Chain A
């Protein structure tokens, strides 16, 4: 168990458009979901933490108006990159923490590669 999916796996968009990335927990209920960003050959950078039904908590330096996060259900969180620019090109990864699992267990999705042209 503990499978997390992301959609799309990759996306190319034009500068100025918005892109939505979905993160789903397939076989468990995720009370908390996390969104990370990863640049080539670097580690994961936490962008925000979202709890079901409440507003996301953003890390310092992450623009909440640019990276809109919605966690409307216990199995789905979405990240929308608004007015995307080439510098937003990155690998975006979500993870989920289960309602009935130890709080330290996070399960990661396969990631979404965003390229903004």
Chain B
């Protein structure tokens, strides 16, 4: 079983601050996804990274896949209250997908 470790587990910041969430594993993944989940709803796919070293930007969110495809990071610039939610990374290998424990982000106005 591939294990994904996310850090930090909880993060509470003020509006306008920057933050980075990490997703690490000892396993190599063919792809890695980041999801955001709001209370009482299903996870929503934010991005998929496939190539080692790949960087993708989605407005104020920057996603990076490690060169060895074992880790990833999500950086949010100038966080807003609307960014509040549970951020989940998920690694895929051989049609098997595993989720990290999640980072619960709270952005205070």
Contact = CB atoms under 8 A, between A and B. Distances in A.
Contacts, number: 53
Given A106-B97, A108-B43, A108-B44, A43 B102 contact: yes
A110 B102 contact: no
28 contacts: A6-B42, A32-B95, A41-B104, A42-B101, A43-B86, A43-B88, A43-B100, A43-B102, A44-B43, A46-B98, A93-B42, A95-B42, A102-B31, A102-B48, A104-B48, A104-B50, A104-B97, A105-B45, A106-B33, A106-B97, A108-B35, A108-B42, A108-B44, A108-B45, A110-B41, A110-B42, A111-B41, A111-B42
A18 B101 CA distance: 29
B30 A104 contact: yes
B7 to A, nearest CB: 13
Interface residues of A, number: 23
Contacts of A111: 40-42
Interface of A: 4, 6, 32, 34, 41-44, 46, 91, 93, 95, 102-111, 113
Contacts of B95: 32, 103
A104 B30 CA distance: 9
A104 B48 CA distance: 8
